[in-house]
Structure formats: structure tokens, C-alpha cells
Homo-oligomer: A and B are copies of this chain.
Amino acid sequence: MASRQQQAQLTRKKILDAALELFNENGFDDVRVSDITDKSKTSKGAFYTHFNSKYEIFLEKFKEIDDFYLAFEKEHAALDSPALFLERLHLAQARYLRDELGKDTVRTIYMNLLRPSEKNFVSDPNRPYFQIVKRQIEKGQQAGTFRIDLPVESLSSQWAKAIRGNVYDWCAHDNFDIEEELKQLMNILLDGIKA
């Protein structure tokens, strides 16, 4: 028989695959842990040895978003206006959230990030998103188009938080055109960080 470790990895994968498929079909709230263990022919015991919660396994889906950011940066490396870069990045992000992930997924993530037990992966400063924003703002500072009375860290973290407020509200409402709203916000923010 396969080694214990190999077997465990296989079980983990079976659970993960089943879960992601079910989440895609029915959304987080309409998938029971028992649905996942049934579909993957495993058990609660197996589920909770590999994942700490139903939410944690759901996050796996969200992590793809980092690939999106990295791909965007690569694709737009030629663009040398940081302001323009940031604007396009976030409009693309808005479409990605809306069309690829879907409001329901984002809502679930934003909700669960506030659970006391969670360590907040989304606003981890090491994530590609922050690195990219930071690089652009630094570039703008060096070019003299962005203000330098506040450090890059402050400007970029404030930028990110303002954007997050917009995404949060989008999750909480119907009739909210996130692309349009983000455009407006960035209009203001860019004015606020210009030299």
C-alpha cells in the first residue's frame, strides 16, 4: 500500500477538488461539509485533519487572484505612467472580482476575514497586490509625480484600504457598479497622492 504520507496527500486532494467543484456550482453557503465528504468519499475526520474550517478550504479558490495580479503586471510592464497603471490595474481587478470570482465569493471572503480566529491573508503586505501597488507608487515618487511627504508604505496602504472599502460596499449592496465607483474613487485618490 501507498505510504501514509502519500495516502494523506491523496485524501487532501480529493477533498479539495470536491469542495472547489461544489463551491463553484452552489456557492459557499449552500455547500455542507457533509456534501464535500460525501462527494470525495471521505469523512469529517479526514476533512478536519486537513483543513481547519470550511472557510479555510474556500480561501484556496481566492488565492488564484494573485496570479491575476502578477499576470497583469507582466503584461503592462511597458506602461510607464504609474497613475495610468494603477487605474487600469484596478479596473481590471473590478472586472475580475465581478466576472471571475463573483460577488458572492468576495462577500464570503470579506465576511470570514473578520472571524477572530483568522489571520488576515487578504491584507498581508507580502501579497503580490501590495508589492505591485507599492512599486508603482514608489516609481511615481521617483518621477516626481507623486507626493513624497508621506512614505511609500503609508501611501500604498492607504490606497489599498480605500479600495477595500469600495469593494466591501459593493459586496454589501445590489445596484452597485463597482467599475464606475472605483473609477471615481481613484480620480479622488490620485489627486490626493499627486505631488
A residues 125-155 touching B (CB-CB < 8 Å): 147, 150, 154-155
Residue among B115, B165, B172, B173 making CB contact with A166, cutoff 8 Å: B165
Q: Is the CB of B158 within 8 A of A188?
A: yes
Residue on B with the closest CB to A111? B114
Q: Is the CB of A120 within 8 A of B173?
A: yes
Query: A110 contacts the other chain (Cβ, under 8 Å)?
Result: yes
Residues in chain B near residue A110, CB distance under 8 A: 114, 168
Residue among B161, B187, B188 making CB contact with A169, cutoff 8 Å: B161
Residue among B166, B169, B181, B192 making CB contact with A189, cutoff 8 Å: B192
A interface majority secondary structure? helix
Residue on B with the closest CB to A171? B114
A residues 157-182 touching B (CB-CB < 8 Å): 158, 161-166, 168-169, 171-173, 181
Q: Is the CB of B123 within 8 A of A169?
A: yes
Q: Mark A10-35, 1 if CB is under 8 A from B, else 0.
A: 00000000000000000001000000
Q: Is the CB of B113 within 8 A of A172?
A: yes
Most chain-B Cβ atoms within 10 A of its Cβ — which of A161, A169, A171?
A: A161
| A112 smallest CB distance to B (angstroms) | 8
CA distance A165 to B166 in the complex (A): 7
Residues in chain B near residue A181, CB distance under 8 A: 158, 161
Closest 10 CB pairs of A and B: A165-B165, A192-B192, A162-B162, A188-B192, A161-B165, A191-B192, A164-B165, A111-B114, A120-B172, A158-B185
